[in-house]
Amino acid sequence: MVKVAVANSDALRSDADLLVVPVFAGRDLGPGAAEALAALGTPHELLLEARGFEGKAGQAMVLPTFGRLPAAELLLVGLGERDQLDAEALRRAAAVALRAAGRARRAVTTLAQALPDDRAGAVQAVSEGAHLGAYRFDKYKAATREDSARDNGRLAELTVSMPDGAGGLDTAATRGEIRARATNLARDLSNEPASSLHPEDLAEAARRLVDKGVTVTVKDERALAAEGFGGIIGVGQGASNPPRLVELRYEPEGASARVVLVGKGITFDSGGLSLKPSEGMEAMKTDMSGAAAIVGVMSALADLGVRVAVTGYLATAENMPSGSATRPGDVLTMRNGKTVEVLNTDAEGRLVMADALAYGAESQPDAMVDVATLTGACMVALGMKYTGLMSNDDALAAELLDAATAAGEPTWRLPLPREYHKQVESEVADLKNVGTRWGGALNAGLFLEEFVAERPWAHLDIAGPARADETDAHTPKGSTGAAVRTLLSWLERRGER
Protein backbone atom coordinates (compact mmCIF):
# COMPACT_ATOMS: atom_id res chain seq x y z
CA MET A 1 0.00 0.00 0.00
CA VAL A 2 1.24 3.47 -0.88
CA LYS A 3 2.31 5.77 1.96
CA VAL A 4 0.61 9.19 1.78
CA ALA A 5 2.02 12.20 3.66
CA VAL A 6 1.32 15.94 3.67
CA ALA A 7 4.13 18.48 3.34
CA ASN A 8 4.34 22.26 3.60
CA SER A 9 6.53 22.45 0.51
CA ASP A 10 6.76 23.58 -3.08
CA ALA A 11 5.98 20.52 -5.19
CA LEU A 12 7.97 21.81 -8.16
CA ARG A 13 11.12 21.84 -6.06
CA SER A 14 10.57 18.52 -4.36
CA ASP A 15 12.94 15.67 -4.91
CA ALA A 16 10.70 12.92 -6.30
CA ASP A 17 10.52 10.56 -9.26
CA LEU A 18 7.18 11.96 -10.40
CA LEU A 19 5.39 15.32 -10.14
CA VAL A 20 1.58 15.05 -10.45
CA VAL A 21 -0.39 18.20 -11.34
CA PRO A 22 -4.07 18.71 -12.25
CA VAL A 23 -5.58 20.07 -15.43
CA PHE A 24 -9.26 20.99 -15.79
CA ALA A 25 -11.38 20.40 -18.86
CA GLY A 26 -10.52 22.60 -21.81
CA ARG A 27 -6.81 22.38 -20.90
CA ASP A 28 -7.43 24.79 -18.02
CA LEU A 29 -4.26 24.39 -15.98
CA GLY A 30 -4.66 23.69 -12.28
CA PRO A 31 -2.29 24.37 -9.36
CA GLY A 32 1.33 23.90 -10.34
CA ALA A 33 0.58 22.84 -13.91
CA ALA A 34 1.43 26.13 -15.64
CA GLU A 35 4.72 26.48 -13.76
CA ALA A 36 5.70 22.88 -14.42
CA LEU A 37 4.95 23.08 -18.14
CA ALA A 38 6.74 26.41 -18.41
CA ALA A 39 9.83 24.84 -16.88
CA LEU A 40 9.89 22.30 -19.70
CA GLY A 41 10.30 25.11 -22.20
CA THR A 42 7.75 23.69 -24.67
CA PRO A 43 4.54 25.46 -25.76
CA HIS A 44 2.11 23.43 -23.76
CA GLU A 45 -0.97 24.19 -25.87
CA LEU A 46 0.54 22.45 -28.89
CA LEU A 47 1.97 19.64 -26.80
CA LEU A 48 -1.31 18.81 -25.07
CA GLU A 49 -3.28 19.08 -28.30
CA ALA A 50 -0.85 16.78 -30.11
CA ARG A 51 -1.28 14.17 -27.35
CA GLY A 52 -5.08 14.52 -27.34
CA PHE A 53 -5.03 15.60 -23.70
CA GLU A 54 -7.97 17.87 -22.84
CA GLY A 55 -8.14 17.65 -19.05
CA LYS A 56 -11.16 15.38 -19.04
CA ALA A 57 -11.75 13.29 -15.94
CA GLY A 58 -9.82 10.05 -16.22
CA GLN A 59 -7.17 11.36 -18.61
CA ALA A 60 -3.47 11.18 -17.74
CA MET A 61 -0.33 12.10 -19.65
CA VAL A 62 3.31 11.55 -18.67
CA LEU A 63 6.08 13.84 -19.91
CA PRO A 64 9.84 13.56 -19.31
CA THR A 65 11.32 16.64 -17.67
CA PHE A 66 14.88 16.24 -19.08
CA GLY A 67 16.32 17.54 -15.81
CA ARG A 68 14.47 20.86 -15.96
CA LEU A 69 12.56 19.91 -12.83
CA PRO A 70 13.81 17.89 -9.83
CA ALA A 71 11.24 15.20 -10.70
CA ALA A 72 12.23 12.90 -13.56
CA GLU A 73 8.71 12.88 -15.00
CA LEU A 74 5.66 15.15 -15.02
CA LEU A 75 2.20 13.58 -14.87
CA LEU A 76 -0.81 15.64 -15.94
CA VAL A 77 -4.13 14.35 -14.57
CA GLY A 78 -7.55 15.47 -15.79
CA LEU A 79 -10.07 16.78 -13.26
CA GLY A 80 -12.96 17.52 -15.60
CA GLU A 81 -15.00 20.72 -15.39
CA ARG A 82 -13.62 23.25 -12.89
CA ASP A 83 -17.07 24.31 -11.66
CA GLN A 84 -17.99 20.69 -10.91
CA LEU A 85 -14.92 19.87 -8.83
CA ASP A 86 -15.69 17.94 -5.64
CA ALA A 87 -14.07 15.37 -3.39
CA GLU A 88 -15.04 12.51 -5.66
CA ALA A 89 -13.25 14.13 -8.61
CA LEU A 90 -10.10 14.33 -6.47
CA ARG A 91 -10.45 10.69 -5.39
CA ARG A 92 -10.74 9.58 -8.98
CA ALA A 93 -7.84 11.77 -10.13
CA ALA A 94 -5.57 10.45 -7.36
CA ALA A 95 -6.42 6.87 -8.33
CA VAL A 96 -5.75 7.59 -12.00
CA ALA A 97 -2.39 9.07 -11.02
CA LEU A 98 -1.48 5.94 -9.06
CA ARG A 99 -2.31 3.73 -12.02
CA ALA A 100 -0.37 5.97 -14.44
CA ALA A 101 2.71 6.28 -12.23
CA GLY A 102 4.55 3.49 -14.01
CA ARG A 103 7.80 2.50 -12.30
CA ALA A 104 8.02 5.66 -10.19
CA ARG A 105 8.52 4.96 -6.49
CA ARG A 106 8.12 8.47 -5.04
CA ALA A 107 5.66 11.11 -6.22
CA VAL A 108 4.57 14.57 -5.12
CA THR A 109 1.25 16.16 -6.11
CA THR A 110 -0.60 19.48 -6.07
CA LEU A 111 -4.00 17.83 -6.55
CA ALA A 112 -5.37 18.82 -3.13
CA GLN A 113 -4.63 22.49 -3.82
CA ALA A 114 -7.39 22.43 -6.44
CA LEU A 115 -10.02 22.53 -3.67
CA PRO A 116 -8.74 25.35 -1.42
CA ASP A 117 -12.06 25.95 0.40
CA ASP A 118 -11.93 22.51 2.02
CA ARG A 119 -8.28 21.72 2.61
CA ALA A 120 -8.87 18.80 4.99
CA GLY A 121 -11.54 17.31 2.75
CA ALA A 122 -9.26 17.66 -0.27
CA VAL A 123 -6.33 15.93 1.45
CA GLN A 124 -8.60 13.14 2.71
CA ALA A 125 -10.00 12.63 -0.79
CA VAL A 126 -6.55 12.46 -2.40
CA SER A 127 -5.33 10.01 0.23
CA GLU A 128 -8.47 7.89 -0.06
CA GLY A 129 -8.32 7.83 -3.84
CA ALA A 130 -4.63 6.95 -3.86
CA HIS A 131 -5.09 4.01 -1.51
CA LEU A 132 -8.16 2.81 -3.42
CA GLY A 133 -6.32 3.14 -6.72
CA ALA A 134 -3.34 1.20 -5.43
CA TYR A 135 -5.51 -1.86 -4.70
CA ARG A 136 -4.68 -5.16 -6.38
CA PHE A 137 -5.96 -8.67 -5.74
CA ASP A 138 -3.08 -10.70 -7.12
CA LYS A 139 -2.21 -13.23 -4.43
CA TYR A 140 -2.83 -16.12 -6.84
CA LYS A 141 -0.59 -14.73 -9.64
CA ALA A 142 2.91 -16.22 -9.58
CA ALA A 143 4.46 -13.40 -11.61
CA THR A 144 3.02 -10.79 -9.26
CA ARG A 145 4.27 -12.65 -6.20
CA GLU A 146 7.77 -12.54 -7.65
CA ASP A 147 7.35 -8.82 -8.44
CA SER A 148 6.21 -8.13 -4.88
CA ALA A 149 9.19 -10.01 -3.48
CA ARG A 150 11.45 -7.66 -5.40
CA ASP A 151 9.34 -4.71 -4.15
CA ASN A 152 9.07 -3.31 -7.67
CA GLY A 153 6.35 -1.90 -9.85
CA ARG A 154 4.33 0.10 -7.35
CA LEU A 155 4.35 3.67 -6.16
CA ALA A 156 5.56 3.57 -2.56
CA GLU A 157 5.27 7.22 -1.44
CA LEU A 158 2.91 10.05 -2.36
CA THR A 159 3.48 13.49 -0.85
CA VAL A 160 0.54 15.89 -0.94
CA SER A 161 1.94 19.41 -1.29
CA MET A 162 0.11 22.09 0.72
CA PRO A 163 2.43 25.14 0.67
CA ASP A 164 0.05 27.32 2.74
CA GLY A 165 0.55 25.08 5.75
CA ALA A 166 0.15 21.38 6.43
CA GLY A 167 -0.79 21.68 10.09
CA GLY A 168 -3.41 19.11 11.09
CA LEU A 169 -3.73 17.76 7.56
CA ASP A 170 -1.88 14.53 8.35
CA THR A 171 -5.01 13.52 10.28
CA ALA A 172 -7.08 14.03 7.14
CA ALA A 173 -4.69 11.88 5.13
CA THR A 174 -4.91 9.17 7.78
CA ARG A 175 -8.71 9.23 7.70
CA GLY A 176 -8.61 8.76 3.96
CA GLU A 177 -6.30 5.78 4.40
CA ILE A 178 -8.55 4.21 7.06
CA ARG A 179 -11.62 4.47 4.85
CA ALA A 180 -9.76 3.04 1.84
CA ARG A 181 -8.26 0.26 3.93
CA ALA A 182 -11.75 -0.76 5.09
CA THR A 183 -12.96 -0.78 1.49
CA ASN A 184 -9.97 -2.80 0.33
CA LEU A 185 -10.57 -5.31 3.12
CA ALA A 186 -14.10 -5.84 1.81
CA ARG A 187 -12.67 -6.22 -1.70
CA ASP A 188 -10.18 -8.84 -0.51
CA LEU A 189 -12.87 -10.91 1.19
CA SER A 190 -15.27 -10.96 -1.74
CA ASN A 191 -12.54 -11.52 -4.33
CA GLU A 192 -11.45 -14.65 -2.48
CA PRO A 193 -12.40 -17.90 -4.28
CA ALA A 194 -15.36 -19.66 -2.72
CA SER A 195 -13.19 -22.75 -2.18
CA SER A 196 -11.15 -20.69 0.29
CA LEU A 197 -13.99 -18.83 1.99
CA HIS A 198 -16.79 -20.96 3.43
CA PRO A 199 -19.13 -19.59 6.12
CA GLU A 200 -16.81 -20.69 8.93
CA ASP A 201 -13.87 -19.11 7.11
CA LEU A 202 -15.76 -15.82 6.89
CA ALA A 203 -16.44 -16.02 10.63
CA GLU A 204 -12.73 -16.64 11.27
CA ALA A 205 -11.80 -13.74 9.00
CA ALA A 206 -14.09 -11.47 11.01
CA ARG A 207 -12.41 -12.59 14.23
CA ARG A 208 -8.98 -11.98 12.77
CA LEU A 209 -9.57 -8.71 10.91
CA VAL A 210 -11.86 -6.88 13.31
CA ASP A 211 -9.99 -6.54 16.57
CA LYS A 212 -10.08 -2.89 17.69
CA GLY A 213 -12.88 -2.38 20.17
CA VAL A 214 -15.08 -4.98 18.46
CA THR A 215 -16.22 -8.26 19.99
CA VAL A 216 -17.14 -11.16 17.71
CA THR A 217 -19.65 -13.92 18.51
CA VAL A 218 -20.54 -16.77 16.17
CA LYS A 219 -23.68 -18.94 16.13
CA ASP A 220 -23.07 -22.32 14.48
CA GLU A 221 -25.68 -24.51 12.80
CA ARG A 222 -26.75 -26.12 16.07
CA ALA A 223 -27.36 -22.79 17.78
CA LEU A 224 -29.15 -21.44 14.71
CA ALA A 225 -31.51 -24.41 14.63
CA ALA A 226 -32.16 -24.27 18.37
CA GLU A 227 -32.86 -20.53 18.30
CA GLY A 228 -35.27 -20.52 15.36
CA PHE A 229 -33.20 -19.14 12.49
CA GLY A 230 -35.17 -21.10 9.89
CA GLY A 231 -34.12 -18.94 6.95
CA ILE A 232 -30.36 -19.29 7.48
CA ILE A 233 -30.67 -23.01 8.21
CA GLY A 234 -32.97 -23.54 5.22
CA VAL A 235 -30.58 -21.91 2.79
CA GLY A 236 -27.50 -23.63 4.16
CA GLN A 237 -28.82 -27.14 4.70
CA GLY A 238 -27.92 -28.35 1.21
CA ALA A 239 -24.21 -27.57 1.62
CA SER A 240 -21.47 -29.63 3.25
CA ASN A 241 -20.15 -26.43 4.84
CA PRO A 242 -22.75 -25.34 7.42
CA PRO A 243 -24.08 -21.79 7.86
CA ARG A 244 -23.15 -19.23 10.49
CA LEU A 245 -24.51 -16.02 11.97
CA VAL A 246 -21.63 -13.75 12.97
CA GLU A 247 -22.24 -10.88 15.39
CA LEU A 248 -19.74 -8.00 15.58
CA ARG A 249 -20.35 -5.55 18.39
CA TYR A 250 -18.76 -2.09 18.76
CA GLU A 251 -19.61 -0.23 21.98
CA PRO A 252 -17.84 3.14 22.31
CA GLU A 253 -18.09 5.02 25.58
CA GLY A 254 -20.86 7.62 25.55
CA ALA A 255 -22.44 6.36 22.34
CA SER A 256 -25.01 8.78 20.94
CA ALA A 257 -27.12 6.14 19.15
CA ARG A 258 -27.42 2.40 18.55
CA VAL A 259 -27.63 0.97 15.04
CA VAL A 260 -27.70 -2.48 13.50
CA LEU A 261 -26.02 -3.39 10.20
CA VAL A 262 -26.81 -6.64 8.37
CA GLY A 263 -24.82 -8.08 5.47
CA LYS A 264 -25.72 -10.88 3.10
CA GLY A 265 -22.97 -13.50 3.24
CA ILE A 266 -23.73 -16.17 0.66
CA THR A 267 -20.19 -17.41 0.11
CA PHE A 268 -21.29 -19.22 -3.04
CA ASP A 269 -24.67 -19.19 -4.73
CA SER A 270 -25.39 -22.04 -7.10
CA GLY A 271 -29.10 -21.23 -6.94
CA GLY A 272 -29.75 -24.38 -4.90
CA LEU A 273 -32.23 -26.77 -6.50
CA SER A 274 -33.40 -23.82 -8.64
CA LEU A 275 -29.98 -24.16 -10.24
CA LYS A 276 -28.43 -21.20 -12.04
CA PRO A 277 -27.00 -21.65 -15.56
CA SER A 278 -23.21 -22.00 -15.55
CA GLU A 279 -22.61 -18.41 -16.71
CA GLY A 280 -24.81 -17.20 -13.87
CA MET A 281 -22.48 -18.82 -11.33
CA GLU A 282 -19.20 -17.34 -12.57
CA ALA A 283 -19.20 -14.37 -10.20
CA MET A 284 -21.16 -15.94 -7.34
CA LYS A 285 -18.16 -15.96 -5.01
CA THR A 286 -19.00 -12.25 -4.61
CA ASP A 287 -22.53 -12.95 -3.36
CA MET A 288 -21.18 -12.28 0.12
CA SER A 289 -20.20 -8.69 -0.75
CA GLY A 290 -22.76 -7.30 1.71
CA ALA A 291 -21.21 -9.23 4.58
CA ALA A 292 -17.74 -8.21 3.39
CA ALA A 293 -18.87 -4.58 3.49
CA ILE A 294 -19.98 -4.97 7.10
CA VAL A 295 -16.61 -6.47 8.07
CA GLY A 296 -14.88 -3.54 6.38
CA VAL A 297 -17.05 -1.00 8.20
CA MET A 298 -16.60 -2.63 11.59
CA SER A 299 -12.82 -2.74 11.13
CA ALA A 300 -12.64 1.07 10.83
CA LEU A 301 -15.01 2.33 13.53
CA ALA A 302 -12.51 2.56 16.38
CA ASP A 303 -9.80 4.13 14.21
CA LEU A 304 -12.25 6.78 13.01
CA GLY A 305 -13.53 7.41 16.54
CA VAL A 306 -17.16 6.78 15.57
CA ARG A 307 -19.40 7.59 18.53
CA VAL A 308 -22.29 5.31 17.58
CA ALA A 309 -22.78 1.83 19.04
CA VAL A 310 -22.88 -0.54 16.08
CA THR A 311 -23.84 -4.21 15.95
CA GLY A 312 -23.09 -5.91 12.66
CA TYR A 313 -24.51 -9.25 11.56
CA LEU A 314 -23.10 -11.46 8.82
CA ALA A 315 -25.80 -13.89 7.67
CA THR A 316 -23.61 -16.43 5.92
CA ALA A 317 -24.32 -19.71 4.14
CA GLU A 318 -23.59 -21.62 0.94
CA ASN A 319 -26.58 -22.17 -1.36
CA MET A 320 -25.94 -25.59 -2.85
CA PRO A 321 -28.05 -28.40 -4.39
CA SER A 322 -28.12 -31.80 -2.71
CA GLY A 323 -30.50 -34.37 -1.29
CA SER A 324 -30.80 -32.33 1.89
CA ALA A 325 -31.37 -28.96 0.18
CA THR A 326 -34.54 -26.93 0.65
CA ARG A 327 -37.06 -27.77 -2.09
CA PRO A 328 -39.37 -25.39 -3.95
CA GLY A 329 -42.64 -25.49 -2.04
CA ASP A 330 -41.03 -26.03 1.37
CA VAL A 331 -42.13 -23.76 4.23
CA LEU A 332 -39.58 -22.26 6.61
CA THR A 333 -40.27 -20.74 10.03
CA MET A 334 -38.22 -17.60 10.52
CA ARG A 335 -36.66 -16.06 13.65
CA ASN A 336 -39.67 -13.78 14.26
CA GLY A 337 -42.12 -16.68 13.88
CA LYS A 338 -43.37 -15.80 10.40
CA THR A 339 -43.56 -18.62 7.88
CA VAL A 340 -42.21 -18.39 4.35
CA GLU A 341 -43.07 -20.57 1.37
CA VAL A 342 -39.92 -21.03 -0.72
CA LEU A 343 -40.94 -21.02 -4.37
CA ASN A 344 -37.48 -20.35 -5.79
CA THR A 345 -34.38 -21.48 -3.92
CA ASP A 346 -32.31 -18.95 -5.91
CA ALA A 347 -34.06 -16.16 -3.98
CA GLU A 348 -32.08 -17.18 -0.93
CA GLY A 349 -30.49 -13.91 0.12
CA ARG A 350 -33.71 -12.47 1.48
CA LEU A 351 -34.17 -15.58 3.63
CA VAL A 352 -30.86 -15.28 5.49
CA MET A 353 -31.22 -11.49 5.68
CA ALA A 354 -34.72 -11.77 7.13
CA ASP A 355 -33.52 -13.89 10.03
CA ALA A 356 -30.66 -11.51 10.83
CA LEU A 357 -32.91 -8.45 10.57
CA ALA A 358 -35.48 -10.01 12.89
CA TYR A 359 -32.76 -10.83 15.39
CA GLY A 360 -31.27 -7.35 15.16
CA ALA A 361 -34.68 -5.72 15.64
CA GLU A 362 -35.09 -7.50 18.98
CA SER A 363 -32.60 -5.06 20.55
CA GLN A 364 -34.77 -2.11 19.39
CA PRO A 365 -31.96 -0.10 17.73
CA ASP A 366 -32.40 3.49 16.62
CA ALA A 367 -31.85 2.45 13.00
CA MET A 368 -31.16 -0.64 10.91
CA VAL A 369 -29.42 -0.84 7.53
CA ASP A 370 -28.90 -3.98 5.48
CA VAL A 371 -26.53 -4.44 2.54
CA ALA A 372 -26.95 -7.20 -0.01
CA THR A 373 -26.28 -8.29 -3.57
CA LEU A 374 -29.95 -9.12 -3.56
CA THR A 375 -31.65 -8.88 -6.95
CA GLY A 376 -30.84 -8.91 -10.62
CA ALA A 377 -33.96 -6.78 -10.95
CA CYS A 378 -32.14 -3.88 -9.27
CA MET A 379 -29.44 -4.11 -11.93
CA VAL A 380 -32.12 -4.06 -14.63
CA ALA A 381 -33.58 -0.91 -13.07
CA LEU A 382 -30.38 0.99 -12.17
CA GLY A 383 -27.54 -0.61 -14.10
CA MET A 384 -24.18 -1.68 -12.74
CA LYS A 385 -23.04 1.48 -10.94
CA TYR A 386 -26.02 2.52 -8.79
CA THR A 387 -27.06 1.13 -5.42
CA GLY A 388 -30.80 0.81 -4.93
CA LEU A 389 -32.03 2.19 -1.60
CA MET A 390 -35.40 1.30 -0.06
CA SER A 391 -36.56 2.49 3.33
CA ASN A 392 -39.54 2.76 5.65
CA ASP A 393 -38.19 6.05 7.04
CA ASP A 394 -37.73 9.21 4.96
CA ALA A 395 -35.22 10.81 7.34
CA LEU A 396 -33.00 7.72 7.38
CA ALA A 397 -33.17 7.46 3.59
CA ALA A 398 -32.14 11.10 3.24
CA GLU A 399 -29.19 10.60 5.61
CA LEU A 400 -27.94 7.63 3.61
CA LEU A 401 -28.37 9.38 0.26
CA ASP A 402 -26.35 12.34 1.55
CA ALA A 403 -23.67 9.99 2.90
CA ALA A 404 -23.51 8.14 -0.41
CA THR A 405 -23.03 11.41 -2.29
CA ALA A 406 -20.23 12.43 0.07
CA ALA A 407 -18.60 9.00 -0.37
CA GLY A 408 -18.86 9.10 -4.16
CA GLU A 409 -21.05 5.99 -4.35
CA PRO A 410 -24.06 6.60 -6.66
CA THR A 411 -27.30 5.61 -4.92
CA TRP A 412 -30.94 5.97 -5.95
CA ARG A 413 -34.03 5.59 -3.77
CA LEU A 414 -36.68 3.14 -4.94
CA PRO A 415 -40.22 2.91 -3.54
CA LEU A 416 -41.85 0.29 -1.33
CA PRO A 417 -45.36 0.34 -2.83
CA ARG A 418 -48.05 -0.96 -0.50
CA GLU A 419 -50.08 -2.13 -3.47
CA TYR A 420 -47.26 -4.51 -4.43
CA HIS A 421 -47.31 -6.30 -1.08
CA LYS A 422 -49.70 -8.95 -2.39
CA GLN A 423 -46.79 -10.14 -4.57
CA VAL A 424 -45.08 -11.60 -1.49
CA GLU A 425 -48.20 -13.02 0.16
CA SER A 426 -48.51 -16.81 0.11
CA GLU A 427 -51.63 -18.98 0.01
CA VAL A 428 -50.07 -21.56 2.34
CA ALA A 429 -47.78 -19.47 4.57
CA ASP A 430 -47.45 -15.90 5.82
CA LEU A 431 -45.15 -14.95 2.95
CA LYS A 432 -43.51 -16.35 -0.18
CA ASN A 433 -39.95 -15.59 -1.17
CA VAL A 434 -40.65 -14.46 -4.75
CA GLY A 435 -43.35 -12.52 -6.57
CA THR A 436 -43.76 -11.84 -10.25
CA ARG A 437 -40.77 -10.82 -12.36
CA TRP A 438 -42.06 -7.23 -12.49
CA GLY A 439 -40.69 -4.99 -9.76
CA GLY A 440 -38.55 -7.79 -8.37
CA ALA A 441 -36.26 -5.48 -6.39
CA LEU A 442 -39.25 -3.79 -4.77
CA ASN A 443 -40.85 -7.13 -3.91
CA ALA A 444 -37.62 -8.17 -2.19
CA GLY A 445 -37.62 -4.93 -0.20
CA LEU A 446 -41.23 -5.47 0.85
CA PHE A 447 -40.32 -8.99 1.97
CA LEU A 448 -37.44 -7.75 4.13
CA GLU A 449 -39.60 -5.04 5.68
CA GLU A 450 -41.69 -7.80 7.28
CA PHE A 451 -38.77 -8.59 9.59
CA VAL A 452 -37.69 -5.19 10.95
CA ALA A 453 -40.44 -4.83 13.59
CA GLU A 454 -41.22 -1.28 12.39
CA ARG A 455 -37.78 0.00 13.37
CA PRO A 456 -36.34 2.76 11.13
CA TRP A 457 -34.75 0.64 8.39
CA ALA A 458 -33.07 0.96 5.03
CA HIS A 459 -32.10 -1.67 2.49
CA LEU A 460 -29.13 -1.19 0.14
CA ASP A 461 -29.23 -3.47 -2.90
CA ILE A 462 -25.66 -3.49 -4.23
CA ALA A 463 -26.16 -6.23 -6.83
CA GLY A 464 -24.87 -3.89 -9.56
CA PRO A 465 -21.99 -1.90 -8.03
CA ALA A 466 -20.58 -4.73 -5.88
CA ARG A 467 -18.64 -6.06 -8.86
CA ALA A 468 -17.08 -4.31 -11.85
CA ASP A 469 -16.23 -5.79 -15.23
CA GLU A 470 -13.45 -3.29 -15.85
CA THR A 471 -11.22 -0.91 -13.92
CA ASP A 472 -12.48 2.67 -13.61
CA ALA A 473 -10.34 5.16 -11.64
CA HIS A 474 -10.47 3.97 -7.99
CA THR A 475 -12.85 1.10 -8.78
CA PRO A 476 -10.98 -2.07 -9.76
CA LYS A 477 -12.15 -4.92 -11.92
CA GLY A 478 -13.70 -7.52 -9.65
CA SER A 479 -15.05 -6.76 -6.20
CA THR A 480 -15.43 -3.04 -5.48
CA GLY A 481 -16.14 -2.86 -1.73
CA ALA A 482 -19.43 -1.10 -2.47
CA ALA A 483 -21.27 0.60 0.43
CA VAL A 484 -18.33 0.58 2.89
CA ARG A 485 -17.58 4.28 2.53
CA THR A 486 -21.26 5.24 2.40
CA LEU A 487 -21.88 3.50 5.72
CA LEU A 488 -18.76 4.98 7.32
CA SER A 489 -19.81 8.49 6.24
CA TRP A 490 -23.30 7.89 7.61
CA LEU A 491 -22.06 6.55 10.95
CA GLU A 492 -19.53 9.33 11.40
CA ARG A 493 -22.27 11.93 10.82
CA ARG A 494 -24.67 10.12 13.16
CA GLY A 495 -22.08 10.21 15.89
CA GLU A 496 -21.62 13.98 15.49
CA ARG A 497 -25.25 14.84 16.22
Provide the CATH number for the domain around residue 114.
Answer: 3.40.220.10
Which residues make beta-bridge pairs with 215? 249
Residue (of 427, 403, 431, 400) closest to 413 by Cα position: 400
- Residue 9 belongs to a domain: yes
Cα–Cα distance for residue pair 88/151, rounded to 1 Å: 30
- The amino acid that residue 389 corresponds to is L
Q: Do residue 120 and residue 213 come from a single domain?
A: no
Residue 175 resides in a domain: no
Listed residue (442, 411, 406) closest to 424, CA to CA: 442
Residue 259 forms part of a structural domain? yes
- Residues 142, 146, 149, 155, CA torsion sign: negative
pLDDT of residue 150: 46
DSSP string, 122-165: HHHHHHHHHHHHT----TT-HHHHHHHHHT-SS--EEEEE-TT-
Q: Which one of 163, 195, 230 terminates a domain? A: 163
Check whether residue 126 and residue 196 sit in a common domain. no
- 119 and 112 in contact (C-beta within 8 Å)? yes
Residues 249, 365 share a domain: yes
Q: In tens digits, what is the pLDDT along the chain, a chain of 497 residues?
A: 799 999 998 999 998 999 999 999 999 999 999 999 999 987 888 889 988 999 999 999 999 999 999 999 999 999 999 999 999 999 999 999 999 999 999 999 999 999 999 999 999 999 999 999 999 999 898 865 555 544 455 799 999 999 877 678 999 999 999 999 999 999 999 999 999 999 999 999 999 988 778 999 999 999 999 999 999 999 999 999 999 999 999 999 999 899 999 999 999 999 999 999 999 999 999 999 999 999 999 999 999 999 999 999 999 999 999 999 999 999 999 999 999 999 999 999 999 999 999 999 999 999 999 999 999 999 999 999 999 999 999 999 999 999 999 999 999 999 999 999 999 999 999 999 999 989 999 999 999 999 999 999 999 999 999 999 999 999 999 999 999 999 999 999 999 87
- State the pLDDT at residue 147: 56
Query: What is the dihedral angle through the alpha carbons of 282, 284, 286, 290, rounded to the nearest 10 degrees?
Result: 150
Claim to verify: residue 205 and residue 315 sit in the same structural domain: yes
Q: Buried b / exposed e across 248-267, counting CB within 10 Å, b at 16+? A: bebebeebeeebbbbbbbbb
Give the list of residues 6+ apart from residue 373 with CB closer than 8 angstroms, or none: 264, 286, 287, 289, 290, 349, 461, 462, 463, 466, 467
Q: How far apart are CA 325 and CA 250, in angstroms?
A: 35
Q: Does residue 94 sit in the same domain as residue 220?
A: no
Counts for the chain of helices (H) and strands (E), in that order: 16, 20
Residue 173 maps to a domain? no
CA distance 135 to 191: 12
215 shares its domain with 301? yes
**pLDDT of the residue at 54:** 96
Q: Is 450 inside a domain boundary?
A: yes
Is 431 inside any structural domain? Answer: yes
> Would you name the residues annotated as active-site residues?
276, 350
Tell whether 159 and 187 lie within a shared domain: no
pLDDT of residue 209: 83
Give per-residue burial for 121-144: e unless 16+ CB within 10 Å, then b: bbbbbbbbbbbbbbbebeeeeeee
Q: Mutual orientation of helices 289-304 and 169-191 as an angle, nearest 10°?
A: 160
Q: 135, 163, 191 — which closes off a domain?
A: 163
Same domain, 222 and 74: no
Q: Which of 441, 243, 238 is nearest to 356 (CA)?
A: 243
Asked whether the beta carbons of 266 and 352 are under 8 A apart, the reply is: yes
305 and 265 housed in the same domain: yes
| pLDDT of 316 | 98
Same domain, 146 and 208: no
- Residue 419 maps to which CATH number? 3.40.630.10
Classify residue 487: in a domain, yes or no. Answer: yes
Shared-domain flag, residues 123 and 200:
no
Among 138, 163, 188, identify where a domain stops.
163
Distance CA 6, CA 167 (A): 9
Domains in the chain: how many in total? Answer: 2
Domain that holds residue 429: 180-495
Do 123 and 239 lie in one domain? The reply is no
DSSP 391-425: ES-HHHHHHHHHHHHHHT--EEE----GGGGGGG-
Query: Does some domain include residue 100?
Result: yes
DSSP-assigned letter for residue 235:
H
